[in-house]
């Protein structure tokens, strides 16, 4: 499969998720204890997304878009394994020691997103290194994140919304490949 095909599949999946979320919002949650909802729907319903939620969804996105091996079982990984995988990809900072259950702050999500999109820092940040603050400002400037306080904890639906925009931007940048034009 080509990169463009993976991108279209990712956008279709995000669209289906949006339709599912709209339907779920109109219907109250079921009282049946044995009903297991997809993890993305459960995360979307959360008032506060956690660091563990972000790591899992970013790893899923990276797998979908071919940045990591498609056979990698990210859903079965423990938090530390996800952290190591994202660290290997350069998507998280090695100095971070977040509690997996801690609320995900906007600037942390911005840093992960800017790293995923390989957004290059400006002159000063190239000297001092990429920071969460710089990343948040840059992601706002590129309209990939909404205005707000950098240290504010994001909701589950905001996390999914930002990752959807990141996926679309990544796919837009990849564009048609030589294989697409020949095949």
- Separation in Å, CA 86 to CA 38, 104, 123: 22, 16, 26
- pLDDT number for residue 16: 46
Query: Whose structure tokens read 């990984």?
Result: 77
Torsion, Cα 109 106 20 45, to 10 degrees, reads 120
* Confidence at 58, pLDDT banded by 50, 70, 90: very high
- pLDDT number for residue 37: 72
> Which region among 69-73, 146-150, 161-165, 173-177 has the lowest average model confidence (pLDDT)?
173-177
Question: Which pTM does this prediction carry?
Answer: 0.74
Q: Is the pLDDT of residue 57 over 50?
A: yes
How far apart are the C-alpha atoms of 57 and 162, rounded to whole Å?
A: 11
Query: Whose structure tokens read 């997809």?
Result: 38
Sign, Cα dihedral of 151, 51, 95, 91: negative
| Core vs surface per residue 2-18: b (16+ CB within 10 A) or e | ebeebbeebeebbeebe
């Amino acid at each position: 499969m080509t990169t463009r095909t993976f991108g279209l599949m990712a956008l279709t999946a995000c669209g289906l998720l949006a339709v599912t979320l709209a339907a779920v919002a109109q219907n109250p949650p079921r009282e049946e204890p044995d009903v297991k909802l997809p993890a993305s729907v459960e995360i979307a319903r959360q008032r506060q997304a956690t660091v563990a939620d972000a790591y899992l969804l970013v790893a899923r996105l990276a797998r979908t878009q071919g940045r990591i091996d498609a056979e990698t079982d990210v859903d079965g990984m423990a938090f530390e394994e996800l952290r190591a995988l994202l660290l290997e990809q350069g998507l998280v900072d090695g100095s971070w020691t977040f509690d997996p259950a801690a609320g995900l702050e906007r600037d942390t999500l911005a840093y992960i997103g800017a790293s995923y999109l390989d957004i290059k820092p400006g002159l000063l940040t190239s000297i001092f290194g990429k920071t969460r603050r710089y990343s948040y400002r840059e992601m706002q400037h590129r309209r990939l994140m909404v205005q707000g306080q950098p240290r504010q904890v994001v909701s589950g639906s905001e996390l999914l919304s930002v990752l959807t925009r990141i996926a679309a931007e990544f796919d837009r940048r990849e564009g048609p490949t030589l294989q697409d034009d020949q095949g």
